[in-house]
Amino acid sequence: MRKSSSGHASQAVERVLELSADAQITRRITPKDSPAFHSLTGAIAAYGKALAILTALQQREEFYTIIAQSELSERTSAVS
């Protein structure tokens, strides 16, 4: 089950990276004082915040997976 949700998180990170890259490319060809430029700047900042949250969730999930594996191996060695 964890691998499935981790896979979804990875897909979400990849998609946000793609959207951010597209927005950055579009912003480069947009006039700097235009409303579109400022809108794209805001979107890029939002993508950055979303990436920070998603990667923090991935790290937390990986941490809990390691803890669970450690506890399982401790229980297994205690039974043996």
Q: How many Å is the maximal CA-CA distance in the chain? A: 70
What pLDDT digit, counting tens, does each position of 67-79 carry? 988 887 777 776 6
What pLDDT digit, counting tens, does each position of 15-60 carry? 999 999 999 999 999 999 999 999 999 999 999 999 999 999 888 8
Note the pLDDT of residue 2. Answer: 44
Which among 23, 9, 20, 26 has a CA at the least distance from the CA of 48?
Answer: 20
Spans of all domains in the chain: 2-79
Task: Give every CB contact of residue 23 below 8 A, 6+ residues apart in sequence.
Answer: 40, 43, 44, 47
pTM, entire model:
0.72
Which among 21, 22, 7 has a CA at the least distance from the CA of 54?
Answer: 7
Token reading at 32: 């700097």
Question: How far is Cα 61 from Cα 13, in angstroms, rounded to an integer?
Answer: 14
